[in-house]
Amino acid sequence: MRSRMFRDHALQALPALVAAGSLLLAWEIYCRFSGISETTLPAPSQVIQQAWLNREALWLNTVPTLRATLLGFSLSLVLAFLLSVLIDFSALMRRALFPIFIASQTLPLVAIAPLVVLWFGFGLLPKILLVALVTFFPMLVALAEGYASTEKEVEDLLASMGASRWRRFRLARLPSALPYFFAGLRISITYAVVAAIFAEYAGAARGLGIYMLNAKNNFRPDLVLAAVLVSSLLTLLLFSATWAVQRLAAPWIDGSSGRRI
Partner 1 sequence: MTSPLLSLDRISLSYGDIDVLHDVSLDVMPGEFVSILGPSGAGKSTIFKLLTGAATARSGEIRFAGKQLAPTDRPFAFMPQRDALMPWRRIIDNTTLGLEVQGLPRKQARKRVEPLFQEFGLSGFEQHYPSALSGGMRQRAALLRTVVQDKPVLLLDEPFGALDALTRNQMQIWLEAMWLKHRWTIVLITHDVREAVMLSDRIHLLTPRPARVEQTIEVPLPRARFSHPGARAEAAIIETSILDFLLSPKIQQQEGQLP
Quickly count: other Cβ atoms within 10 Å of residue 208's Cβ.
Answer: 28
The reply on whether position 245 binds partner 1 by CB under 8 A is: no
**Closer residue to partner 1 in complex, CB, 161/237:** 161
Footprint of partner 1 on 178-207 (CB under 8 A) = 178
Q: How far is the CB of 140 from partner 1 (least distance, A)?
A: 22
C-beta pairs of 110-116 under 8 Å, 24+ apart in sequence: 110/198, 113/198, 113/199, 113/201, 113/202, 114/202, 114/203, 116/199, 116/202
Q: How far is the CB of 182 from partner 1 (least distance, A)?
A: 12
**Closer residue to partner 1 in complex, CB, 8/156:** 156
**Closer residue to partner 1 in complex, CB, 15/251:** 251
Q: How far is the CB of 82 from partner 1 (least distance, A)?
A: 22
- Report the alpha-carbon distance of residue 148 to residue 232 in Å, rounded: 34
Q: How far is the CB of 110 from partner 1 (least distance, A)?
A: 41
- Report the alpha-carbon distance of residue 24 to residue 229 in Å, rounded: 13
Give 113's contacts (C-beta < 8 A, 6+ positions apart): 126, 130, 198, 199, 201, 202
- Report the alpha-carbon distance of residue 127 to residue 192 in Å, rounded: 10
The correct pick among 70, 154, 187, 194 for binding partner 1 (CB under 8 A) is: 154
The reply on whether position 145 binds partner 1 by CB under 8 A is: no
The reply on whether position 158 binds partner 1 by CB under 8 A is: yes
**Closer residue to partner 1 in complex, CB, 184/209:** 184
- Report the alpha-carbon distance of residue 13 to residue 27 in Å, rounded: 22
Q: Using CB under 8 A as the criterion, which residues of the chain lie in contact with partner 1 when the complex forms? A: 151, 153-154, 156-163, 167, 171-172, 175, 178, 250-252, 255-257, 259
